Amino acid sequence: MALTIGVDVGGTKIAAGVVDEEGKILEEQRCHTPARDTAQIQSAVVGLVKELAARQDVAAVGIGAAGFVGADRTTVLFAPNLAWRDEPLGAAVQAQVGVPVVVENDVNAAAWGEFRFGAGADVDDLLMVAVGTGVGGGIVLGGQLLRGSFGVAGEIGHMRVVPNGLPCGCGRHGCWEQYASGRALVREARARVWDGDPLLELAGGSATGITGPMIMTEAQAGDALCISLLADLGQWLGEGIASLAAILDPRVVVIGGGVGDAGDLVLEPIRKAFDDNLPAAANRPHLEVRLATLGNEAGMIGAADLARASS
Ligand SMILES: [Zn+2]
């Protein structure tokens, strides 16, 4: 049985795991992401891989990276939260670990993990919408991961939804992730919270102390503001998903990221906004919106499986 290693390089931590053909993680290692230093990130990845490969016979390594990954599947073209610019990450790691290495966009890897072993294991066409700090996307059509000509397909968070809207880290204005992300949820909460709201109390009396998990907690406890904030987030998400469905026609949309913790408080508004905004909604089948099932490990499992397929 061929084992492979999946590595998930995030903004705060790097996680690496040995994964089998069934998508099961046999062993896992983690470390903090060395801040903004590409050479240190690379050596941290090599360290984790070598440690795991010393104990398990592995055939290949897949690295999921939060950034734009080139069509060569080795170069990180751009990473908004890490210092990668045209970084030949895959080739550099491969030279040190001695087995084939492929690099994938982290949400593409997570989408593939959910498609192979998670919420979309029963379908051929899937769109993953990962709602975290930003909004990431991964697209599987006809059982194939959609990478595009230049490797950067599926950057759905940068679909423009508001002309001349809020500025985005990508250099444009009005991108979907400025309205439909965890960061947008927190921004709105800080702007709308009022004196005496339990959310403000939970945040220590200061709006700047409000975090996403606090909003989830208060919404589940019945706080009207937090429920309405999640409903607005769901509305933005559902509208955008309706536009994407007009292009991609997926069978299932998998919602990943921390917002999934809100369950029906966000899912129901997403489904309603989707149904209300899908073109010709009354005369076509509607896709299903589901929550991701692999959690934080989707990227690692997906990257390991993509490495297996290409080795
Ligand atoms: Zn953008």
| Cα(169) to centroid(ligand 1), Å | 6
pLDDT at 222: 96
| Cα(136) to centroid(ligand 1), Å | 11
| Cα(240) to centroid(ligand 1), Å | 14
pLDDT tops 70 at residue 246: yes
Q: What is the DSSP string of 79-147?
A: -SSS--EEE-HHHHHHHHHSS-EEEEEHHHHHHHHHHHHSTTTT-S-EEEEEESSSEEEEEEETTEE--
| Cα(99) to centroid(ligand 1), Å | 35
| Cα(223) to centroid(ligand 1), Å | 31
| Cα(98) to centroid(ligand 1), Å | 37
Of residues 91, 98, 93, the one with CA closest to residue 58: 98
Give per-residue pLDDT as tens, 32-91: 988 778 899 999 999 999 999 999 999 999 999 988 999 999 999 988 778 888 999 999
- Dihedral sign of CA atoms 63, 69, 74, 77 in order: negative
Of residues 137, 129, 134, the one with CA closest to residue 169: 134
Strand partners, 136: 130
Model pTM greater than 0.85? Answer: yes
pLDDT tier, 1 (very low <50, low <70, confident <90, very high otherwise):
low
| Cα(79) to centroid(ligand 1), Å | 13
Give per-residue pLDDT as tens, 251-268: 999 999 989 999 999 999
Q: How far is the C-alpha of 169 from the C-alpha of 156, rounded, in Å?
A: 14
> Taking residues 177-189, what's their average pLDDT?
97
Q: How far is the C-alpha of 123 from the C-alpha of 142, rounded, in Å?
A: 9
Strand extents, DSSP E, 228-309 = 252-256, 288-291
pLDDT at 63: 98
pLDDT at 191: 97
| Cα(227) to centroid(ligand 1), Å | 26
Q: How far is the C-alpha of 298 from the C-alpha of 311, rounded, in Å?
A: 20
| Cα(142) to centroid(ligand 1), Å | 28
Give per-residue pLDDT as tens, 99-139: 999 999 999 999 999 999 999 999 999 999 999 989 999 99
| Cα(20) to centroid(ligand 1), Å | 36
| Cα(211) to centroid(ligand 1), Å | 22
| Cα(278) to centroid(ligand 1), Å | 23
Note whether 154 and 68 are within 8 A (CB): no
What single letter denotes the amino acid at residue 193? V
- Per cent of the chain over pLDDT 70 is 99
pLDDT tier, 209 (very low <50, low <70, confident <90, very high otherwise):
very high
- Per cent of the chain over pLDDT 90 is 89
pLDDT tier, 12 (very low <50, low <70, confident <90, very high otherwise):
confident
